[in-house]
């Protein structure tokens, strides 16, 4: 078995879901997503046993393009994140009714297919194809099944699509330039290309524009909050839990090793941009009245810290960034799902219209509190491991970076706990808040179990990703 198996499962699953009809679509999609998760676990075991599960086949001779999928520890970690979150996201949607459900769930699986391909591709053009394919399903998910006024939703989604597509074109231009130097799109050949400092600057900038929009990093974040708010919660989960990780992962896999001289020379600028996102996102989150927008800006703050850690060019920084990517994926999906559970009962996302949930649903209150505490990196949660490692790496570069980056914990604790107080405590809303259903409880339990388990024992993930990160750093430090 090799890594192409998981792509085949997801792609077949997307078609099978569509042709299964609206009544069976959700169950068929869940079945195939669980099959993909099982396949990813088998592949991980094979990888740990020393089996070569990578794939490389000649695809197009002119230009020279290969169907190349590289399964190292870093790529497998991101594939596992995608494979684990996809069934959770699908299962969490069972409490909603969707028109044309077959199309909705088929798009989710197709998006998972494209994102998985992005994490595995080791040919530049194949990577670019998967990168762009992931944009198509989320565009339609947000446009067709989104919330609010149709015209406002259309504007927000089109802006996101145009921004992302425009940034990706700069990346494609960089790949074409590198191909002319290397004669191949394979990543190991691209790593060997000798570029001048000036060439590396432009390559670095081209990749940065694509990744900064996708992550997003300020000042390229203007699409994010509106799209997160207007998209259906499933779409928001896919965007925040997995899709933005494509940009963060790509910084480590592609941008830094391809332009190491530029990465070292402009390190302080890009770390500063990441930390600026931490502070900006936290301050704006304090002023939000809509629960989904508050969580969107909270996510902006957290990914700013991850980006800052990635640009430190240290093993601790890269390792902490990857750990935090995975932790953030689970906690942000859990928080957006909690917002959806509240909306199902209160039919509002306005924080001022909530309150008193604790007295009506102590189980939901407890689970929501754990997610909030994980979000603010309470020790013993997975987020603490990642954030502490990133902040430690920033302190090695400049202690002020660590101090400023640490504001995400202080400000985050303030606005998240204040939000929890308004939403869960206080006077009871006039509407009855029914306790969580079995489906909802299972979704929360799985997410919380992951956050607590790896909060106490992150070693399996650390051992998986460290060799790959050390290899990437060797490529960076050769220049």
278: domain range? 266-479
What is the reported pLDDT for 222? 85
Sign of the C-alpha dihedral computed for residues 323, 325, 328 and 330 taken in this order: negative
What is the reported pLDDT for 428? 67
What is the reported pLDDT for 219? 87
Distance separating alpha carbons of residues 236 and 455, to the nearest angstrom: 25
Q: Tell me the two tokens of residue 28.
A: 């068929």
Give the model confidence (pLDDT) of 386-445 as tens digits.
999 999 999 999 999 999 888 778 888 899 999 999 888 877 666 778 888 999 999 999
Average pLDDT for the chain = 92
What is the reported pLDDT for 358? 87
Residue 345 is assigned to a structural domain of this protein: yes
Residue 466 is assigned to a structural domain of this protein: yes
What is the reported pLDDT for 13? 97
Buried b (16+ CB within 10 A) or exposed e, 292-320: bbbbbbbbbbbbbbbbbbbbbbbebbbbb
Residue 114 is assigned to a structural domain of this protein: no
Three-state SS for 57? strand
Collect all residues with Cβ–Cβ distance below 8 Å to 313 and sequence separation of at least 6.
256, 263, 264, 267, 473, 476
Residue 351 is assigned to a structural domain of this protein: yes
Residue 362 is assigned to a structural domain of this protein: yes
Give the model confidence (pLDDT) of 218-244 as tens digits.
888 888 888 998 899 999 999 999 999
Residue 460 is assigned to a structural domain of this protein: yes
Collect all residues with Cβ–Cβ distance below 8 Å to 429 and sequence separation of at least 6.
346, 353, 354, 355, 356, 357
Q: What are the helix (H) ranges across 183-290?
A: 187-191, 197-214, 224-230, 233-238, 244-250, 256-258, 260-265, 267-286
Residue 416 is assigned to a structural domain of this protein: yes
Q: Tell me the two tokens of residue 269.
A: 């600028």
Distance separating alpha carbons of residues 467 and 24, to the nearest angstrom: 43
* Pairing mode of beta strands 65-69, 55-60: antiparallel
| pTM of the complete model | 0.95
Residue 59 is assigned to a structural domain of this protein: no
Distance separating alpha carbons of residues 10 and 87, to the nearest angstrom: 12
Query: What is the full per-residue pLDDT of the chain (479 aa) written as tens digits?
Result: 889 999 999 999 999 999 998 899 999 999 999 999 999 999 999 999 888 899 998 888 888 889 999 999 999 999 999 999 999 999 999 988 889 999 999 999 999 999 999 999 999 999 999 999 999 999 999 999 988 778 888 998 999 999 899 999 999 999 999 999 998 999 999 999 999 999 999 999 999 999 999 999 988 888 888 899 889 999 999 999 999 999 999 999 999 999 999 999 999 999 999 999 999 999 999 888 989 999 999 999 999 999 999 999 999 999 999 999 999 999 999 999 999 999 988 888 888 888 888 888 889 999 999 999 999 999 999 999 999 999 999 999 999 999 988 877 888 889 999 999 988 887 766 677 888 899 999 999 999 999 999 999 999 999 999 999 999 999 998 86
What is the reported pLDDT for 397? 92
Q: What angle do CA 337, 146, 153 make, to 5 degrees?
A: 130
Q: How many domains does the chain have?
A: 1
């Amino acid at each position: 078995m090799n890594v192409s198996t998981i792509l085949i499962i997801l792609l077949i699953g997307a078609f099978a879901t569509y042709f299964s009809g609206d009544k069976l679509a959700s169950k068929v999609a869940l079945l195939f997503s669980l099959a993909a998760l099982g396949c990813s676990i088998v592949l991980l075991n094979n990888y740990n046993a020393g089996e070569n599960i990578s794939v490389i086949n000649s695809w197009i001779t002119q230009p020279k393009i290969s169907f190349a999928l590289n399964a190292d520890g870093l790529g497998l970690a991101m594939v596992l994140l995608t494979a684990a979150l996809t069934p959770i996201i699908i299962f969490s949607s069972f409490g909603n009714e969707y028109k044309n459900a077959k199309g909705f769930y088929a798009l989710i699986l197709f998006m998972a297919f494209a994102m998985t391909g992005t994490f595995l591709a080791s040919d530049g053009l194949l990577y670019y194809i998967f990168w762009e394919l992931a944009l198509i399903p989320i565009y339609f998910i947000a446009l067709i099944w989104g919330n609010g006024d149709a015209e406002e939703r259309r504007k927000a989604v089109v802006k996101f699509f145009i921004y992302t597509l425009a940034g990706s074109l700069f990346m494609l231009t960089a790949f074409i330039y590198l191909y002319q130097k290397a004669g191949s799109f394979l990543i190991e050949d691209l790593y060997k290309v000798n570029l001048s400092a000036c060439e590396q600057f432009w390559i670095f900038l081209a990749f940065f524009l694509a990744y900064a929009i996708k992550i997003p990093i300020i000042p390229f974040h203007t699409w994010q909050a509106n799209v997160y708010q207007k998209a259906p919660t499933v779409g928001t989960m896919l965007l925040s839990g997995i899709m933005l990780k494509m940009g963060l992962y790509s910084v480590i896999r592609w941008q830094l090793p391809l332009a190491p001289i530029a990465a070292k020379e402009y390190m302080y600028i890009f770390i500063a941009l990441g930390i600026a996102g931490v502070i900006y996102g936290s301050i704006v989150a304090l002023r939000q009245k809509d629960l989904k927008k508050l969580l969107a800006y909270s996510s902006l703050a957290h990914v700013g810290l991850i980006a800052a850690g990635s640009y430190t060019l240290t093993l601790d920084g890269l390792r902490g960034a990857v750990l935090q990517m995975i932790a953030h994926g689970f906690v942000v999906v859990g928080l957006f799902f909690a917002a959806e559970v509240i909306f199902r009962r209160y039919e509002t996302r306005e924080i001022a219209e909530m309150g008193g949930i604790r007295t009506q649903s102590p189980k939901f209150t407890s689970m929501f509190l754990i997610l909030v505490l994980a979000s603010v990196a309470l020790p013993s949660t997975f987020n603490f491991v990642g954030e502490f490692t990133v902040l430690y790496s920033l302190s090695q570069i400049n202690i002020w970076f660590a101090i400023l980056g640490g504001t995400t914990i202080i400000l985050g604790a303030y606005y998240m706990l204040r939000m929890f107080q308004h939403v869960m405590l206080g006077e009871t809303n006039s509407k009855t808040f029914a306790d969580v259903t079995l489906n909802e409880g299972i979704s929360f339990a799985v997410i919380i179990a992951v956050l607590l388990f790896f909060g106490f024992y992150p070693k399996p993930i650390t051992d998986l990703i460290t060799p790959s990160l050390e290899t990437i750093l060797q490529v960076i430090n050769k220049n």
